[in-house]
Amino acid sequence: MTQKNSSTISTLTTTNIQHPLPSAPVRLQVQSVDKPLYRGTFHCFQSIIRQESMFGLYKGIGSPMMGLTFINAIVFGVQGNTMRMLGEDTPMNQFLAGAAAGTIQCVICCPMELAKTRMQMQGTGEKKSSSRKVYKNSLDCLARIYQREGLRGVNRGMVTTLIRETPGFGVYFLAYDLLTRSLGCEPEDPYMIPKLLFAGGMSGIASWLSTYPVDVIKSRLQADGVGGKYQYSSIMDCTRKSIQREGWRVFTRGLTSTLLRAFPVNAATFATVTLFLLHVRPDEGSKDCEAAPASHQAPLQQQAQPSSL
């Protein structure tokens, strides 16, 4: 059993818990400012349920269900192996290893989020006919985009995804490392699990806050063209038009629901992976400890750190 298995287990549990929430950020991020459909996060949920039933909240769930399992397996595998390559467990190395993982997982994350965005946007809006339901499911969505636009089309939004994920995952793992160290997560600590959950949740929030404006631009670029009309010619064009039309507040669109989702998802992800690795591989952990003289024994937050196992 490896980090991959542990991250798969955590992903399958968290995807079902958290999926409905991402429907709101995408729709709030890309809605027209001239005729906004939604006043805020909770009005967005109400409108989706009223117009599209509860199933509307689960549009595009296939994409994250398939993608997130592989993404988390890649993320924790790359981060752990990069930390081993870097050798010393320092905050800078935690950031660099996280950034490396964030970069590599974009190969799956970008097409996955393109499909999720397109599925969530189709059949929405006041002119339902203009964004009629074209895609049967996430895979059909990506297949049709590939047929029409080739690999370039399937990787629409890749540059903004890389700009968001590389520092985003660096902050993600750095924050978790610093929080678990400062909270002193030890196996004999009766509050170890709540501390791991808190550290994981706060790391998810810190990560999304660090690059959220880029997420807004990415969503707009990936939703561009739904209903047939393309508005943006480039990242800079999208950024300039968004600020011109809506001011700097545009970069907070959908932030509430993103953070409401980020805490529980990442609390569960980090706590599951850490506890799983701690308990599934205690022999390796103790071997490492035996190898190192007692004075250098790594405290739990290093032994249990997904990155250092």
Ligand X SMILES: NC(=[NH2+])NCCC[C@H](N)C(=O)O
Q: Which is nearer to ligand X, 20 or 204 (CB)?
A: 204
Q: Is residue 76 at the binding interface for ligand X, with CB under 6 A as the rule?
A: no
Q: Is residue 177 at the binding interface for ligand X, with CB under 6 A as the rule?
A: no
Q: Which is nearer to ligand X, 157 or 204 (CB)?
A: 204
By 3-state DSSP, what share of the chain in percent is helix, strand and coil, each rounded to 5?
A: 75, 0, 25
Q: Is residue 204 at the binding interface for ligand X, with CB under 6 A as the rule?
A: yes
Number of residues in contact with ligand X, rule: CB under 6 A? 12
Pair of tokens at residue 67: 């993608």
Q: Smallest gap, in angstroms, from Cβ of residue 264 to ligand X?
A: 10
Give the residue from 230, 227, 125, 109 showing the smallest Cα distance to 159. Answer: 109
- In degrees, rounded to 5, the angle at the alpha carbon of residue 174 between the alpha carbons of residues 161 and 156 is 5
Binding test (CB under 6 A) with ligand X, winner from 27, 59, 156, 164: 164
Contact between 105 and 71 (Cβ < 8 Å): yes
Coil, helix or strand at residue 247: coil
Q: Which is nearer to ligand X, 38 or 208 (CB)?
A: 208
- Distance in angstroms (rounded) separating the CA atoms of residues 16 and 188: 31
Stretch that binds ligand X, among 2-10, 241-249, 259-267, 275-283 (CB under 6 A): 259-267
Q: Is residue 70 at the binding interface for ligand X, with CB under 6 A as the rule?
A: no
Coil, helix or strand at residue 180: helix
Q: Which is nearer to ligand X, 106 or 145 (CB)?
A: 106
Q: Which is nearer to ligand X, 48 or 75 (CB)?
A: 75
Q: Is residue 208 at the binding interface for ligand X, with CB under 6 A as the rule?
A: yes
- Distance in angstroms (rounded) separating the CA atoms of residues 268 and 276: 12
- Give the residues lining the site for ligand X (CB under 6 A): 164-165, 168-169, 172, 204, 207-208, 211, 262, 265-266
